Structure 1
Amino acid sequence: MTTLPTYRYTPGPLHATLLAGSVPLFLGALLSDIAYGQTYQIQWANFASWLIAGALVFSGFALLFALVNLLRARPKAGRPTVYFLLLLAAWVVGLVNAFQHAKDAYAMMPTGLVLSAIVTLLAVAATWTGLTNLRSGDAQ
């Protein structure tokens, strides 16, 4: 019986920190948008803009790490590809969300709130996929 080697491309400590760090920033932006929608205090919109900018930096670097992991994966399909595509989608929607938040305070509503919810869900899905045993090369 021949055993095939298992090639694991789990995120390293820096990659995992960047990946997991984007979730609370996107979530904070969503909560700030909700607070702005209820109070109309402009500072909540400013908080959301800064949190989105920080999340884009974190997820952008995590996206670079994910691209390297994808290029190193033996078969170019499966979970490394799904992980990269989820993270790319989260980053692109986050960038669109940042542009939406750059508008005047109330002009960003309700589109900014909806985009914040979507990007938060995408970031959680990407983080879940990225931190749960990305494997390439085995049948499990």
Structure 2
Amino acid sequence: MTTTTLPHCTPGPLHATLLAGSVPLFLGALLSDIAYYQSYQIQWSNFAAWLIAGALLSSGLALLFALANLIRAPRKAGRPLLYVLLLLATWVLGLVNAFEHAKDAWAVMPAGLVLSVVVTVLAMIATWAGLTRLRTEGEA
């Protein structure tokens, strides 16, 4: 019985740390938006804006690592490409969310809350895809 192993493109330690670090930041922003929606205390919206800024930094750097891995990969289709596209969608919608949170007071709602939900789910899916073994040579 012969088994062939396919080369994998998994994130390195720094890449994985940046990738996994964006999830709690986006989740914290979502929870802050929920607290703002329930309490009308403007500080929750400010806190969400800062958490989103940190998450954008973390996911943006993870996106750069993912692009470098995709460029080096022998096969540029399939899951590695899906992972990069998920990260890109997360970052772009996170940026839109940051712009939404730059508005004044209650103008953030409800779009900020909806965007926070979408971006948090996207960040979780991108992290799941990034931390699993990404095949670069054929699908098994």
Common topology (TM > 0.5): yes
Residue 105 of structure 1 is matched in structure 2 by 105
Q: CA deviation at 1:7?
A: 1.6
Note if 1:14 corresponds to 2:53.
no
Gaps of 5+ in 2: none
Structure 1 contact 30–120 (Cα < 8 Å) conserved: yes
Aligned sequence identity (%):
73
Q: Separation in 2 of the partners of 1:34 and 1:3?
A: 50
| CA distances 1:67-102 after superposition (whole Å, capped 9, x unpaired) | 001111111100000000000000000000000000
Residue 94 of structure 1 is matched in structure 2 by 94
Residue 32 of structure 1 is matched in structure 2 by 32
Structure 1 moving runs of 4+ over 6 Å: none
Q: CA deviation at 1:2?
A: 8.3
Q: Separation in 1 of the partners of 2:139 and 2:27?
A: 35
Residue 125 of structure 2 is matched in structure 1 by 125
Q: Separation in 2 of the partners of 1:130 and 1:100?
A: 27
The aligned amino acid for 2:90 is: A
User: Normalising by structure 1, what TM-score?
Assistant: 0.96
| CA distances 1:6-50 after superposition (whole Å, capped 9, x unpaired) | 221100000000000000000000000000000000110010000
Structure 1 contact 32–48 (Cα < 8 Å) conserved: yes
Residue 64 of structure 1 is matched in structure 2 by 64
Pairwise CA RMSD: 1.4
Q: Separation in 2 of the partners of 1:71 and 1:5?
A: 21
Gaps of 5+ in 1: none
Residue 44 of structure 1 is matched in structure 2 by 44
